[in-house]
Amino acid sequence: MIARALAIAVASAACKADEKSAPSPAPAPKPIDARPTPPGPFASWDVPARFAMLQGAWVQSVGGPRVPIAIDRDHVKLTDVTTVTYDIVAIAPCELVLRYKGAIDHNLPAMPFALRTGKLVLANGPLGQVRGKESIVCTYDGVITRDAAGACTKWTFDTAWTSAPARCRDDLLATDDVLHDDLDYPNLAIPARDFDAATALVADASSYEDARRVARALGGKVGDTSTIPGLVVTVAASPARWKGKRVTVSATYYGADYLESGGMWTHLIPAPDQHVPMIACEPLEPRGVAPYDPVIVTGTIEDEGSLTDCEITARTTR
C-alpha cells in the first residue's frame, strides 16, 4: 500500500505564549507505481501510463454478464456473484496479476485488459494489443509477447516474472488494435463515477423494467420510435401492436457480441455518456463504425430491447 505521511504540528512547552507551531508540509503523494517493474520487452509498452488509465470504476461488458469493477491503486474490487477485493501483485501491459487472501474459490488469477484506440476494454478471455509487427497477449496463465522478428515468449508471475519460448497466439482475431478470441468482441468498458454507481448501472440494465424506468427518465415518449428511450417505452406499452414494424432510430453505436451461429448482435445506446437503455440489432456487422459513432439504424421490432433485419442507413455527426 502506498503510504501517506501525516504532518503533525508539535508545540514546545518552552515556547513563548505568542509563538505558534506550524505544521510541517506533507510530502507530495507518490505517483501510481506499476510494481514490480516489468522486465525486458514490457518496458517499451509504457506500463505505468496504461495502469493509470485503469484507475477508477468500470462496468465490464465483454464475455458474459456485466460486472462492476473498481480499480484503486493496488486493489481491484468486483462483484461476480459476491463482492471480492483482490490485491494487485504485478502489472503487465495488458494484465493485472491478482491475489486474494481469503477462500480459494474466489481466486481470480489475472484481469486481462486492452486499449482499443486508446479506450479501455476489460474481458474474461484473452486480450492483446497489436503494435506494428509486435504484439502482446494476456491470458489467465501468462503473457505472450511477439517481437518484430516474429519470435514469441511467454511470461509468468509467481514472486517474479520468468520467461520461456512459447507458441504465438495466431488463433486470435483483431479488431482495430485489439486481439481477442472469437467469442469475445472487444466492447469498451463503461466508465462509472464509483463502485456503487457501476453496481447501479449493472442493475439498471438487468431487466426490461429497469430499462423502462431509465427510458422514461430520459424523456422517452410513447409513440416516438425515433430515439432509443422512445422506442423502449413505446413497445413496452403495446408489444403486440409494434412487433414486426420497421422503424428508424437515431442512436450511438456501442459494440457487439458474437453469436454461436456466426452472426453478431450490435449494441446501440442513446448517447456516448448514456449506456442504458441499450438495445440490440441483428444481424448488423458494424464495418467501418467505431465505438460511440452516432448512427441512424433501420430495423424490425422484435421486442422492446431488440431489432432484427438491421442496417445502418446513415452515420451522423453531433
pLDDT tens, position by position, 85-113: 999 988 899 999 888 876 655 556 788 99
Is the predicted pLDDT of residue 23 greater than 50, yes or no?
no
Q: What pLDDT is stored for residue 203 in this prediction?
A: 84
C-alpha 233: how far from chain center? 28
Q: Please report, as a single letter, which amino acid is at residue 297.
A: V
Range ranked top by mean pLDDT from 7-16, 152-161, 163-172, 196-205? 163-172
Contact 266, 253 (CB under 8 A): yes
Q: What pLDDT is stored for residue 32 in this prediction?
A: 41
Q: What pLDDT is stored for residue 82 in this prediction?
A: 85
Contact 282, 310 (CB under 8 A): yes
Q: pLDDT per residue over 259-284, tens digit each? A: 666 667 788 999 988 988 999 888 76
Q: pTM of the prediction?
A: 0.72
Grid cell locating 273? 455518456
Q: What pLDDT is stored for residue 316 in this prediction?
A: 61
Helix (H) or strand (E) holding 54: helix 47-54
Distance CA 126, CA 302 (A): 33
Q: What pLDDT is stored for residue 165 in this prediction?
A: 96
What band does 28 get if pLDDT is binned at 50, 70 and 90?
very low
DSSP state, residue 124: S
Least confident of 70-79, 209-218, 263-272, 298-307: 263-272
Closest CA to 263 of 240, 248, 288, 284: 284
